[in-house]
Amino acid sequence: TTRRFVASLPIQEIPTDYVLFRRMEREDLDNEAVKSVTLVVNPDQLSALVVMANHEHPERENVGIPYGAGCQVIGIFMYREAEKEHPRALVGLTDLSARKNLERLIGKDKMTFSMTPKMFQWMEENVDTSFFKRHTWAALQETTRP
């Protein structure tokens, strides 16, 4: 089973010496070296991002949840998505060991949502005309405030 899993991974040759994960700055979106944007989100935010990712093209499955270790989803799986004609966003932190090890750092109710910079920009540009300005989202936010 482990051999089959490893053989199925989208192993990639990365044409750089390093891969860097860090806080994103506005100018990073224009840098071709940036392959993905990853957000750490709660369940309501995850739901909202899934809706936004599918808003323009609801006929496609624009969000996936691959089976993989904690860092594989935001790493090699996103590299594979970035090469596709219609890349999907990916939900991560489904790895039980990663969830256990990161609980103190990010909290128990968090997941990751990774997307290409292009998808991030499109979603950001469409926030003002989306459900974020409607009653349901506002009501959800009221029930989750401490």
The model's pLDDT over 28-37, given as tens digits with 9 standing for 90+, comes to: 888 888 889 9
Residue 68 has pLDDT above 80, yes or no: yes
CB count, 10 Å around CB of 118?
12
Give, for 41, the enclosing helix (H) or strand (E). strand 37-41
Question: Which letter does DSSP use for residue 75 in this model?
Answer: I
pLDDT at 143: 74
Report pLDDT digits (tens) over 47-58.
999 999 988 777
- Neighbour order of strands in the sheet with 63-64: 37-41, 111-115, 89-92, 63-64
What domain count does the chain have? Answer: 1
What is the C-alpha separation between 77 and 89, in angstroms, rounded?
A: 10
Name the pairing type of β-strands 63-64 and 89-92.
parallel
Domain that holds residue 28: 2-144
43/119 Cα distance (integer angstroms): 20
144 pLDDT exceeds 70? no
Q: To the nearest whole percent, how much of the chain has pLDDT over 90?
A: 42
CA distance 39 to 113: 5
**Residues pairing with 37 in the sheet:** 115
The reported pTM is: 0.85
- Look at residues 39, 126, 44, 130 and name the one whose alpha carbon lies nearest to residue 89: 39
**pLDDT of 39 over the 90 cut:** yes
Reference 36, options 122, 119, 95; nearest CA is 119
